[in-house]
Structure 1
Amino acid sequence: MSSALAHSAARGAFFTLAAQVAKIVLQFLSVIVLARLLSPHDYGLLAIVLVVVGVGEIFRDFGLTTASIQAPVLTRGQRDNLFWINTAIGVVLTIAMFFLAWPIEAVTGEPEIVGMVHWLAVLFLLNGLATQHRANLARDLKFKAMAVIEVSAAAIALTVAVVSALLGAEYWALVAQQLTSGVVVLAGSVIAGRWLPRWYSRQDSVRDLISFGWNIVATNLLVYTGSQIDTIIVGLKFGTSPLGLYNRAFQLVMTPLSQVRSPTKNVALPVLSRVQEDAPRFDNYVTAAQLLLGYGLGIPLILVTALADPIVRVMLGPQWLGAIPIVALFAVAGLLTTLSFVGYWVYLSRGLGKQLFRYTIVTTIIKIICIVVGSSFGVLGVAVGFAVAPAISWPLSLFWLSRVTPMPTARLYAGAARILIVAALTGSAAWGAAQLVSPAGSVLMILAGIFAGLVAAAAPLILPIYRRDARNLTGFLRLMLKRQPRP
């Protein structure tokens, strides 16, 4: 991986991951501070509204971000047209969301939710305006600018939320946080992109891009349905306070994971799209990406599983102890979904929108069945179903993908097996060490668990296959940190 493209990928990964680390720190600060200033009921209200917002966001984007990045050639006129399409969709969704406030209130029985919906509807307009500006930054590989924008938005939004909460704004602090982030992202993307769209032109057809985007919309709707079915069931079946508890556990684990994992698509998609015709090179990139994600995210996630008890006590406080087993199960689910995440990149980079949609139908059905069955046993049962679903779907994912496009399937299965072995060793050692020092308190449990877990994670390096994985990862890290010489 010594080419200029490999270097761009590595540097892009560096800036993306650095930004996500910063965002995770801010997310943890948000969890720690706001969980002590706001109630589970406040978070339950926001969780309900964001379910609806999330559905609208899928249509607002309409898959045109991916279509724009993935397109081998994108003219200035096509980019202008995509901007106006995303903006128009954003306006329509803002109006529709405004009038949905009263039906949502009728379903939930929460009168406070009307004002929240009215204000959060503005997110559709802000994000519609920003969509193609952000896609343009990704297409031009301006990952540093994207990183600065994302971190700045998270930091400013958190500051606004904390100040608002301290002033007694309650759930309005969470609304202010969401809106502030949207405003900062829009402003930053416009400034960094240095591009202002012209008026819509019929001479530049975007029909193929919209066709590709529609398949992504259908896929994302299925994925979103599967990802939100747990929130919907907990909210409707158990109420806003249990939902707030469930949501805080989700925010503690899955939101930071998503903040690291999802933006890597902005690096992987343009890179894999450019090398898709070079099969050996493509396979090497995919297998290296799985190892980077698997080890880089899998080890921290299994540490969270093993140390869920002291982590919740330190980060959330005593009123959130019911979230402990839910946090542990979310971390397991995060590890399993990460192993198959590179397959998603392959579908997108090779333009396999229809095939991705068909596969997603199957995995969504599996997830819904697991969660619905689990809900019979309470909120914890929902979390169990959430973790069981990827355990069933992950082995299926690579097999399914190998049937529609050439894939280094055997290498990916073998790499995943090695990652799981390291995760098992890490988690066992961390849990055991934490239990030994439990009388000394939660903080020492976390420190001892992390130390023992990392030592156990390094133990497999006595085997040649793990040393080879380590060399590949350190080589990629060197590319991330190395500046590319100017031509």
Structure 2
Amino acid sequence: MTSRVNINSVTNNVGWSVLSRIGTFGLKFLTVPILARLLSPEEFGVVAVALTIVQFLATIGSAGLAAALILQKDEDMETVHSVFWANFVISVVMMVMIILWADGIAALLGSVEASALLQVFALLIPLQLCGDVAYSLLARRMSFGKDAAWSVTSETLGVVAAVGLALLGWTIGALVAQQFVSAIIRFVGLYWAAGYRPRFVVSLPKLKGLTNFSLGLMGSEIANFVTFQSPQVVVARVLGLGDAGAYSIANRFSSIPNQIMLTGLMGVLFPAFSQMMHDRERRAAALMLATQVSTLLIAPMMFGLWAVAEPAMTVIFGEKWAFAWPVLGLLAVSKGIMSPCGTFIPYLKGAGHSGTLWWSAVIRAVLVTGMVTYGAVYEGLVGAMAWLCIANALTLVGYSWAVLRTNDGSFFRDFAVMCRPMLVAVVMAIAVRFLLDQVKADIPSDVLRVFLGMAVGGVLYGVMVLLTERPLIMKLLALVMKRRAAPVVA
């Protein structure tokens, strides 16, 4: 049964989804620094490289068929069972391939040390692909509260296992245990919450009916994965495991704010947009509002992190990671640049524009991979991150044009509206960075400078938003009042 979309159901589910991300990534906020102090950059680098290929195969295997279930008008169990068994077969084939060819794959990634880890992590693929079927059922029912509960539970127990084992001296084994504990508990929890029990029913015509959407989506997910993971592979191959570990730890931490908001929004907006597929005006208005709100929230966190990156790196991760503060700052900038694009993927998926989603993702993957490789070869790790920022700036313009043209609006007007909160965040961050540089001699404490930057940045951004985004604030207040008056729809 699919829930009807209105302001109440969407905001309720966004709230649950964001709360779950706050819980899961809040745990990472606390535990990544702990693990960083217990483990070396090389150990983080080995695990990061091994996870890259496993996550890639899980992504291309799960992106299409399970996600296509969300777009189905009715919850046809014959189709659901068919998708489950298709994902199961695909996942087993992928798992066997990794186990047999682990040495060659690890060498290709520039880390022969990751071979054994690849074979272990291959066991995660069936858990991921088969679990996606249960998640899709919850998503189409807009039951994100249940997903939130199990996400937080699984991540909490995974983190407890990782930190406990690291304190006992397990090093890399602690990171491995974290992945498996979280994956197993979430798998069991999703099936319990969805009330789904697989039956041996396979309909090839049902599967074929999903392929038009699923193949385009799978292609875009492959390209997106290349975009997000190619810097890790490039850094490992060109610069070595030490720099790969520095990139991994900085990327994990700088991704937390983004993942809290965007992952929560994307999960809910995809089924919401899919139910607006034939209402173009409503869908366009929802896109603009969601984009403005996500940029308003995400941009100041990302550019603010750049402003305090130097003292924050030492405070959070310890002196041995201090050298990587420019990497943390530039990664935060690269993600801040992309903050207006956070709603584009669920919009294109929900509106059925899988073709636009595919070629946009391919262009971005080529840009990011090419520019990061150039930077790594000629300018080192910091140079690679600077070129990543340039690639994302070009992507912002091109991606926005590709999406906004589907709404027949004015590109320049809509683009300016979407990016305005980001530009305000940039001004705020530059001011905070300038202030911290001026007081460095007078306030030698890194902790105090981090808190000073956060306080000044928060006040400054709040004042500027009140001056520049009054229409948006009034619209949000009106929606809050409307939500209070609207009946709750399960």
- CA distance, structure 2, for counterparts of residue 481 and residue 48 of structure 1: 48
Does residue 468 (structure 1) correspond to residue 467 (structure 2)? The answer is: no
1:119-158 alignment, distance < 5 Å: 119-158=120-159
Contact map agreement 2:21 2:263 (CA 8 A) in 1: no
Q: Distance in 1 between matches of 2:109 and 2:466?
A: 56
Native 8 Å contact 1:26 1:158 kept in 2? yes
Assess if the C-alpha contact under 8 Å between 2:311 and 2:449 holds in 1. Answer: yes
1:196 alignment partner, SS class = coil
Q: Indicate whether 1:451 and 2:458 are aligned.
A: no
8 Å CA contact 1:81, 1:201 repeated in 2: yes
CA displacement at 1:476 relative to structure 2: 4.9
1:12-34 CA-partner distances (Å, limit 9, x unpaired)? 11111111112221111121110
Aligned partner letter, 2:452: A
Contact preservation (8 Å) 2:9, 2:489: no
Which residue is equivalent to 1:215?
216
Provide the C-alpha distance between the structure 2 equivalents of 1:324 and 1:78, rounded to a whole number of angstroms. Answer: 49
Counterpart of 1:347?
A: 348
1:107 Cα deviation from its structure 2 partner: 4.5
Deviation at 1:77, TM superposition (A): 1.0
Q: Aligned pair in 2 of structure 1 residues 276, 410: CA closer, same or farther (>3 Å)?
A: farther
DSSP-derived class of the 1:206 partner: helix
Q: Say if 1:149 and 1:188, in contact at 8 Å, map to a contact too.
A: yes
Determine if contact 1:61/1:131 at 8 Å carries over to the other structure.
yes
Q: Which moved more, 1:43-52 or 1:216-225?
A: 216-225
Deviations 1:435-482 (A, max 9, x none): 34432411111111111111211223554x511112233455677899
Q: Distance in 1 between matches of 2:297 and 2:109?
A: 40
Displacement, 1:400? 2.1
Deviations 1:122-147 (A, max 9, x none): 10111122111011011110111111
Task: Supply the distance in 1 between the matched residues of 2:116 and 2:485 (Cα, whole angstroms).
Answer: 49
Alignment of 1:429 onto 2:431: yes
Give 1:257 shift: 1.8
Which amino acid counterpart does residue 214 of structure 2 have in structure 1? Answer: G
What CA distance in whole angstroms lies between the structure 2 residues aligned with 1:334 and 1:217? 23
Distance (Å, rounded) in 1 between the aligned partners of 2:55 and 2:294: 25
Does 1:240 find its partner at 2:244?
no
Aligned twin of 2:44 = 43
Whether the 8 Å CA contact 1:88–1:128 is kept in 2: the answer is no
The alpha carbon displacement at 1:258 in A equals 2.8
Question: Is contact 1:219-1:360 (8 Å) kept?
Answer: yes
Question: Number of paired residues?
Answer: 484
For the 8 Å contact 2:223–2:362, the answer to whether it is kept is: yes
Q: Please, which runs of 5 or more residues in structure 2 have no aligned partner?
A: none
TM-aligned CA distance change 1:255 to 1:74, over 3 Å: same
Deviation string 1:291-328 (CA, Å, 9 cap, x unpaired) is 11101111111110100011111111100012111111
Contact 2:424 2:465 in 1 (8 A): no
SS in 1 for 2:206: coil
For residue 190 of structure 1, what is the aligned residue in structure 2?
191
Q: Report the counterpart of residue 163 of structure 1 in structure 2.
A: 164
Question: Which position in structure 2 is the counterpart of 1:72?
Answer: 73
In structure 1, the partner of 2:382 is 380
Alignment partner, residue 56 of structure 1: 57
C-alpha contact 2:68 2:213 (8 A) present in aligned 1:
yes
TM-score for both structures, normalised by structure 1: 0.93
Asked whether the equivalents of residues 34 and 162 of structure 1 are also in contact (C-alpha less than 8 Å), the reply is yes
Cα shift at 1:227: 2.1
Query: Residues 206, 47 of structure 1: CA spacing in aligned structure 2 closer, same or farther, 3 A cutoff?
Result: same
With the length of structure 2 as denominator, give the TM-score of the two structures: 0.93
In structure 2, the residue matched to 1:227 is 228
Structure 2 counterpart of 1:345, which letter?
A: P
Query: Aligned in 2, Cα 1:409/1:345: closer, same or farther, shift over 3 Å?
Result: farther
Contact 2:375 2:384 (C-alpha < 8 Å) held by counterparts: yes
**Distance of 1:409 and 1:189 partners within structure 2:** 41
Partners of 1:379 and 1:108 lie apart in 2 by 17
Q: Does 1:420 align with 2:422?
A: yes
* 2:45–2:241 CA contact under 8 A, matched in 1: yes
* Residue matched to 1:307: 308
Once the two structures are overlaid, the 10-residue window that deviates more, 465-474 or 92-101, is: 465-474
CA-to-aligned-CA distance 1:381-405 (integer Å, 9 cap, x gap):
1111111111011111122234455
- 8 Å contact 1:437–1:448 — kept in the other structure? no
**One-letter amino acid of the structure 2 residue matched with residue 161 of structure 1:** A
- Corresponding residue of 2:253: 252
